[in-house]
Chain A
Amino acid sequence: MMLNEIVSTAVKKFGVGREQLLPVLQYVVSQEKWLSEDALLGVARAFDMSAAEVYGVASFYSFLDTKPRGDYVIRVCRTVSCDMAGKEAIMEALEKTLHISVGETTADRKFTLLETNCMGWCAEGPAMLVNDYVYTGLTPEKVVDILQGYMAGA
């Protein structure tokens, strides 16, 4: 779908009442993985809001990225219990396998590697999200397997 179609689909689905701003932005992110300048402007026009305000709202929320993201956004939990359970080793394995550092996106725009705050899997850490999908009880080996699955186009 083209960007303007994505925005208009979202607007059609949710409407342009102010309380629908987050659902619309979430929908765009679900399709595009991030909110580009054009996407933000499109939403601002649809809601008859200032572009700065839409950006101000989006940038408040960690999952409404305003920087380019890959097809698979990996978010590794960095909060206490996952940290205690070995998050560092998971991060290393991810960085090594993807050849990127945290905050970066692979050259083929397939993966983005991020850290995130507690995602509610504290008894089963380390945990990570790949888009909306949760992986828990990670080990460096498991992580490599998971990545290979996505690399193979899973």
Chain B
Amino acid sequence: MNSDEKAKRLRGLQEKVNLIFREIDCIELLERAIKEDPETIIQKIIDSGLRGRGGAGFPAGLKWKGAKEAAGGIKYVVCNADEGEPGTFKDRRILDEQTDKVITGMAICAHAVNATEGSIYLRGEYNFLLSKLSAKCNTWNTIFKDKGLVFKVGVKSGSGAYVCGEETALFESMEGKRGEPRNKPPFPVIAGYMDEPTVINNVETLAYAAMIIADGPESFKAIGTKDSMGGKVFSISGDASVKGIFELPLGMNLQEFVDLFGDDDTKAVQVGGSSGVCVPRKNFADTIIGFEGVPTGGSMMLFNSTRSMYHVLENYLEFFEEESCGQCTPCRAGCQQLLKGIEAVRSGEKPLSYIEKLRDLAQVMSVASKCGLGQSLVNPFNSITRYFREEICY
């Protein structure tokens, strides 16, 4: 494909979805939504097949249903805008450009689950959005009042801690504590913020929820594949010919993707950020971007042949060794050992066979860590030491 063909093909794909950044009348949508039965709304979200867009992919409709059915004095809707996964930056733009849609998504959720308070937890790195979001919240709070929806939304700011993107760590942080993930169960829909039933969704998920109510579940379902319905906002970075934010259907094949975004020298794609999987060139054709293949919160980082995968892995592990919350042993000590281990193999202090020991450690971390961070951070370690062994030790 030449660049014109690429651009055309890309536009075609984007037009197939075009939900997140399409302008709609959010007030009109809200008016319409709050006239609907909460059950109907939840059913529509379930029918749409929408799964969480933060990375973990839990069915959004079931989450809402759980919160609706949970007993609680007060219920909350929390928008997870603690977008910290390296290589992910789509929520920043969605929040910046589609604030109304995100807040409307929250309000629809609140109506559906009978929540009365909402919070946007914004990562500290995005503080420049704070005043804009606060102003928007105020505006919408007035609208809610006018429309008779008992719901109030506000912004809470993080202060630089990746792990707060983990939903229960986020609640802890909102409650003024160290952002340490909680033991589960109970899950947030039963006991979330302030131990009350809470729906916590990613920015993008809430925006999609709004669009599903606007357009109906059928058109959303029509996009993507059976297991990965709908669109997805991708954050594309690294050695890419085109970088930035693109909304595309889920379920694409990684080869198609690399053909569109690569620089003709792509040797690997890190799918899903630093806790995602590193896919080598030989597997591009067999890899589906979606829940049936490699799931992603949207981060697609491309590496060409000039990059040392050792350095990439080292950088990821340096990130995790600092950003682990530090409370559970496998993650706290494991991250340090993985990093120190590859460095020691590299320098010759440890034999090549030590990599196998580290891979066993990674296996334990993935099953014994307390939260998703520790369980998933071994993904890049496993894939890079598997597919790029010769770049780790030579």
Contact = CB atoms under 8 A, between A and B. Distances in A.
**In the complex, A touching B, CB below 8 Å?**
yes
Interface of A: 17-23, 25-26, 29, 56-57, 60-64, 78-81, 83-84, 116-125, 129, 132-134
A62 B82 CA distance: 14
A113 to B, nearest CB: 16
A57 B71 CA distance: 31
A62 B159 contact: yes
A17 B307 CA distance: 49
Interface in B76-90: 83-89
B176 A22 contact: yes
Interface residues of B, number: 54
A120 B125 contact: yes
A22 B162 CA distance: 16
B319 interface: yes
Given A23-B157, A79-B86, A80-B86, A123 B237 contact: yes
Contacts of A124: 243
B315 A117 contact: no
B162 A117 contact: yes
B87 A118 contact: yes
Nearest to A125: B237
B92 A118 contact: no
Given A61-B158, A61-B161, A84-B307, A120 B83 contact: yes
B235 to A, nearest CB: 7
B128 interface: yes
A118 B176 contact: no
B247 interface: no
Nearest to B318: A78
A18 B124 contact: no
Given A26-B159, A80-B86, A80-B274, A120 B123 contact: yes
A95 to B, nearest CB: 19
Interface in B118-175: 123-128, 156-162, 173-175
Q: Which of B91, B124, B177, B301 has the most CB of A within 10 A?
A: B124
A122 B89 contact: yes
A18 B159 contact: no
Contacts of B274: 79-80, 118
A120 B244 CA distance: 11
A2 B274 CA distance: 43
B179 interface: yes
B236 interface: yes
B300 to A, nearest CB: 10
8 contacts: A22-B159, A26-B157, A57-B176, A80-B316, A84-B239, A120-B91, A120-B126, A123-B237
B83 A61 contact: no
Interface string B305-324: 00100011001101100110
Interface string B324-365: 010000000000000000000000000000000000000000
Given A62-B161, A63-B160, A123 B315 contact: no
A132 B237 CA distance: 23
Contacts of A84: 238-239, 307
Most chain A Cβ neighbours within 10 Å, of B87, B92, B316 = B87
B175 A129 contact: no
B128 A134 contact: yes
B176 to A, nearest CB: 3
Nearest to A49: B176
A29 B245 CA distance: 32
